[in-house]
Amino acid sequence: MKADSEIFPTTYHFLKSAFVIEGQFKASSQVIDWLKEQNERVKISIKKIRFDQLDQWSIHSQKGNIQHKTGKFFTIDGIHVKTSWGNVPEWDQPIINQPEIGYLGFITKKFEGILHFLTQAKIEPGNVNHVQLSPTLQATRSNYTQVHRGKKPLYIEYFQRAKPHNILLDQIQSEQGARFLKKRNRNIIINVEDDIPVYDNFLWLTLGQIKDLMQVDNIVNMDTRTVISGIPFGSFDKEVVDFYSFLWAHRSKNCFGRFFLKSALTENGALHNIDEIISFLTKIKSTHDLEVTYVPLNQLKHWIFGEDMIFHEELKYFKVIAADIEIGNREVAKWSQPLVEPAQEGLCAFVVKEINGLLHFAVQAKLECGNYDIVEFAPTVQCLTGNYRHTQEGALPFLDYILNAKPRQIVFDTLQSEEGGRFFREQNRNMIVMADDEVPIGLPENYIWMTLHQLYIFLKFNNYLNIQARSLIAAVSFL
Amino acid sequence: MKADSEIFPTTYHFLKSAFVIEGQFKASSQVIDWLKEQNERVKISIKKIRFDQLDQWSIHSQKGNIQHKTGKFFTIDGIHVKTSWGNVPEWDQPIINQPEIGYLGFITKKFEGILHFLTQAKIEPGNVNHVQLSPTLQATRSNYTQVHRGKKPLYIEYFQRAKPHNILLDQIQSEQGARFLKKRNRNIIINVEDDIPVYDNFLWLTLGQIKDLMQVDNIVNMDTRTVISGIPFGSFDKEVVDFYSFLWAHRSKNCFGRFFLKSALTENGALHNIDEIISFLTKIKSTHDLEVTYVPLNQLKHWIFGEDMIFHEELKYFKVIAADIEIGNREVAKWSQPLVEPAQEGLCAFVVKEINGLLHFAVQAKLECGNYDIVEFAPTVQCLTGNYRHTQEGALPFLDYILNAKPRQIVFDTLQSEEGGRFFREQNRNMIVMADDEVPIGLPENYIWMTLHQLYIFLKFNNYLNIQARSLIAAVSFL
């Protein structure tokens, strides 16, 4: 096993793990039962309260934002946004401000030569179904420096002690730019060779299993999805990939897996090269402004700061609420905090199309007010919080196309949760749709075709793909 | 020629141009004479004035900063900086704030199959020697949207009309993080095939010539250096590079060129792979904060806002001054503006060392208050504004080593100017020093070895290398 890891690159071990859906420990169907059990075993109570009932949180007299008395965790701020992008040149909104970079980390270990990921059945207050599969470690800096004086997060010491040769992936990636102000996390995967303790609620799964479980609604949490989305699978020559695909073909349960495999592994042959894609982005960043200034929450235009919620006067977008939370298996058992509650379910979808024999994704450059660097690559359709079903026909490119896709075009279609530590029961429909000949190669302005291999390159260099795009890429399966 | 550009990648045309020091138009020595001529021909007058004598500029009553009455161009702001990096946890300072992304662009064209760059003999008020070689186009957004109602910048339409297949390079890169707040420019190189007018003060030069001219003090301006630093030269197999190097060896005038060539073109064999370097940076970004808040200029701690300058009470770092400027060949002939004047000359130096048969650069991760993303890759030694000659021995890693380098170790040693549009007669010593066996492979914390090929990869993905590192990389020559 040691010799194995010396000879083969990390990407190859990821690739093998992505093909294994029978892990050494639990079958996927058993995992779902196991999560149900966890769900039943744990006591949970979430009660909406008034802002003035929040324990340890208050409205800052000068800044007019909501903050924790330690100044840590996060704040709910009001912002005024000005931009030359799109049709709305300025607006006000509340936003979550959490400038610290936290850990989202997996420990991996090889069993019978196959990389397994140590997942955790973790409760978050806002989760639709309470318990979801999360990374080994999910910790804000406030968490692991123990501002809340709770228990030290389990396994943190493995990450803090990791040496370069044990680190398989280590990226800084963004969160929702419409909800978080420049929030980023450290997405990290480390490898251990020795035995380690497997605590209650933890379970080793292969990458193939995690991806398989994404076929079920609201099982794999957002933090797991962002970390696994960044996993690259290496580069191979065209004929090598073709032969892989040929060898695998007769075993594959659907025909899409082979297309994704080819698109993921093939270095050359894309419609645009990396430099052209960077130029596409450079042009957009150079010609659009994004200016964000703070405004007290009670002075936001078109938003009402009520005693138990902050909401848009047309009840659009989202609300900020306050909640009392009591949970059994978290580091701190009882606390209160603000949460963000969506106005309705959203839709994130990629249109994919075979071009020059390689599957390409129609990627959108999208400006969101909380973005670290003006625009990020987003799914073809992303209307997270808008009332997309009532949007004027044709107003949003590809929206009608996605909603009217024929069953044989649908590669992926599930509900996935947003981060339950900040969002109250928010789930979005995640779809991947195979284009037919109707979809031309020419795309609207601010859209560009990219292969999976190219998306993995941008993922590596941080802050290029938004979390909605990453969530969909996490769902890509070769099986 | 058309067939040529279809068959060979852009990087190959850059590579060939870097080897040509006899351009089709003027020899390098003639270029220096030509610049001298330009210098003599032009009328220039720069007079220091009081801030209240500035035309169109004033001190904002609320913000306490210096700004143009249009709100465009740039402002001089006061900031308070807090960081967990280094030994100084907080400080105040003035800073230049220019949020718009401007153009720094070259037009290139092939003559006799060799790519030539259209350079401009351009005066900037702050330049030590007034006229320097600048890119074809150097324009802030205020410039090209003509806020100052001057002439439209020459050649701008070529850049605005450029199609993807004419764009050879297109990157967003930072400026001095200690002096500019998150300033970035669009570094762009385009190609034309048809004849274009060559206006007065413009001249076609090869890349090899531009690099050759960097051997002379203060000839090639900062904007030229940043654009050419981003030029990649492609990837080749080890034995191909070795044979290039073998073929070239007997013609090369010094022995360093071959080392740089190998380090630039070889894809594999570096001490650390790209993922390890990204992880090195991720760790630093995740564990260090940088918090910048605005403070009125007259309330900056340890800075004095006099009637004709803003200066540090110990006369360290830099001063902000006001100047009346009259110049013959600029878009606007007469204006006044604030400028930044350094307290003394600085030093930027790379230590390079052959490791595993490939030249590696000792790169420093450096936090500067104006950085877009906390830290950037910087030269081994960068003490731009500190009084480095009087620094305590050993206080700054490699400083003594650089200053005591033996002549045979010195690859490059010249004075290079900072941007004369903002800085008043600022020049820094730029050095590249070949390490002997004394320099171990183990480096201090926050330093890492990288090959040129790896540096070019990070350059491509924007905002990774700071301008001081880029200025030195621009000087790297294969000859």
Quote the CA–CA distance of A418 and A399 in Å, as a whole number.
21
Residues near A29 by beta carbon (within 8 Å), at least 6 away in sequence: none
Minimal-distance CA residue of chain A relative to B188: A279
**Lookup: tokens for B155:** 């050649």
**Quick check: B288 contacting A, CB < 8 Å?**
no
Tell me the H-state helices in B271-421: 274-287, 399-403
Give the pLDDT confidence score for residue A3 in this predicted structure. 44
A188 to chain B: nearest residue by CA? Answer: B279
Shortest Cα distance from A181 to chain B (angstroms)?
14
Q: Given an 8 Å threshold on Cβ–Cβ distance, is A171 in contact with B282?
A: yes
With beta carbons less than 8 A apart as the criterion, state whether A19 and A257 touch: no
Distance to chain B for A277, nearest Cα, Å: 9
> Which pLDDT score is estimated for A298?
95
Three-state secondary structure call for residue B242 = helix
Asked if the Cβ–Cβ distance from B460 to A278 is below 8 Å, we say yes
| CB < 8 Å to A164, chain B | 272, 276, 279-280
Instruction: Tell me which chain B residues have a C-beta less than 8 angstroms from the C-beta of A285.
Output: 101, 172
Question: Which of chain B's residues have a Cβ under 8 Å away from the Cβ of A278?
Answer: 170-171, 460-462
DSSP, residue by residue, A36-103: HHHHHHS-EEEEEE-GGG-SSEEE-TTT--EEETTS-S-EEEEEEEEESSSS--EEEEEEEE--S-EE
The per-residue pLDDT for A393 is: 52
β pairing state of A184-191 and A102-111: parallel
Can you give the pLDDT at residue A251?
62
Chain A residue nearest residue B164, CA to CA: A276
A22 at interface of B, judged by CB pairs closer than 8 A: no
Per-residue pLDDT of chain A (479 residues; tens, 9 = 90+): 344 445 788 999 999 999 998 878 999 889 999 999 888 888 788 899 999 999 999 999 899 999 999 888 899 999 999 999 988 899 999 999 998 899 999 999 999 999 999 999 998 888 888 899 999 999 988 777 765 566 789 999 999 999 999 999 999 999 989 999 999 999 999 999 999 999 989 999 999 999 999 999 999 999 999 999 999 999 988 888 888 877 776 665 567 888 999 999 998 899 999 999 999 999 999 999 999 999 999 999 999 999 999 999 998 899 999 999 988 765 557 899 999 999 888 999 999 999 999 999 999 999 999 999 999 999 999 986 454 444 555 578 999 999 999 999 999 999 999 888 899 999 999 999 999 988 999 999 999 999 999 999 999 998 899 999 999 999 999 88
Cβ neighbours of A457 (radius 10 Å): 18
Check if B372 contacts A (Cβ < 8 Å): yes
The pLDDT score that the predictor gives to residue A187 is 96
Q: Cβ B282–A99 below 8 Å, yes or no?
A: no
Type of residue at B256: F
Residue-level pLDDT at B332? 52
Contact: B278, A186; criterion CB under 8 Å: no
- Polymer length in residues for chain B: 479
Chain A residues with CB under 8 Å of B275 CB are: 10, 169-170, 460
pLDDT at residue number B472? 96
Q: How far apart are CA A325 and CA B415, in angstroms?
A: 63
Residue of chain B nearest A165, judged by CA positions: B276
Instruction: Give bridge partners of residue A135 from the DSSP assignment.
Output: none
pTM metric for this prediction? 0.90
Query: What sign for the dihedral angle of Cα B107, B111, B116, B119?
Result: negative
Element (H, E) at A293: strand A290-295
Q: Which chain B residues are within 8 Å of A160, Cβ to Cβ?
A: none
Q: Which long-range contacts (CB under 8 A, 24 or more apart) does B164-168 make?
A: B164/A272, B164/A276, B164/A279, B164/A280, B166/B190, B166/B191, B166/B192, B167/A276, B167/A279, B167/B191, B168/B10, B168/B13, B168/B14, B168/B108
Close Cβ partners of B170 (under 8 Å, ≥ 6 residues apart): A275, A278, A279, A282, A283, B186, B187, B188, B189
Length of chain A, in residues? 479
In chain B, residues with a C-beta closer than 8 Å to the C-beta of A186 are 282-283, 286
Run of H or E residues at B450:
strand B447-451
pLDDT in tens, B115-160: 999 999 998 888 888 899 999 999 888 777 765 566 789 999 999 9
Contact across the interface for B286 and A461, Cβ inside 8 Å: no
Q: How far is B354 from chain A (nearest CA, A)?
A: 22
**Interface mutation vs chain A, best among B159, B283, B294, most A CBs within 10 Å:** B283
Q: Please check whether residue B10 touches A, CB under 8 A.
A: yes
pLDDT tens for chain B, residues 1 to 479: 344 445 788 999 999 999 998 878 999 889 999 999 888 888 788 899 999 999 999 999 899 999 999 888 899 999 999 999 988 899 999 999 998 899 999 999 999 999 999 999 998 888 888 899 999 999 888 777 765 566 789 999 999 999 999 999 999 999 989 999 999 999 999 999 999 999 989 999 999 999 999 999 999 999 999 999 999 999 988 888 888 877 776 665 567 888 999 999 998 899 999 999 999 999 999 999 999 999 999 999 999 999 999 999 998 899 999 999 988 765 557 899 999 999 888 999 999 999 999 999 999 999 999 999 999 999 999 986 444 444 555 578 999 999 999 999 999 999 999 888 899 999 999 999 999 988 999 999 999 999 999 999 999 998 899 999 999 999 999 88
Rounded Cα gap, residues A191 and B14, in angstroms: 41
pLDDT at res. A385: 47
Q: Which chain B residue is nearest to residue A103, measuring alpha carbons?
A: B286
Residue of A nearest to B104 (CA): A286
DSSP assignment of B250-262 equals TT-SSSHHHHHHH
Q: Do A462 and B278 touch (CB under 8 A)?
A: yes
Listing DSSP states for B56-75 in one string gives: SEEE-TTT--EEETTS-S-E
| Chain A environment of B460 (Cβ under 8 Å) | 274-275, 278
- Residues B304-313: contacts with CB within 8 Å, 24+ apart? B307/B50, B307/B51, B307/B52, B308/B48, B308/B49, B308/B50, B308/B51, B309/B341, B310/B76, B310/B94, B312/B343
Chain B: give the shortest CA distance to residue A31, in Å: 32
Q: How far off is chain B from A95, nearest CA to CA, in Å? A: 19
B396 contacts B444 by C-beta, under 8 angstroms: no
Q: What is the dihedral of CA B407, B394, B383, B376, to 10 degrees?
A: 100
The answer to whether residue B237 neighbours chain A at the CB level (below 8 Å) is: no
Q: Is-contact B138 B223, C-beta < 8 A?
A: yes
What is the SS3 assignment for B32? helix
Residues in A touching B172 (Cβ below 8 Å): 282, 285-286
- At residue B17, what is the residue type? S
- List all residues of chain B from 243 to 282 with a beta carbon under 8 Å from chain A: 272, 274-276, 278-280, 282
Partners of residue A340 on adjacent β-strands: A320, A423
Cβ–Cβ below 8 Å for B169 and A285? no
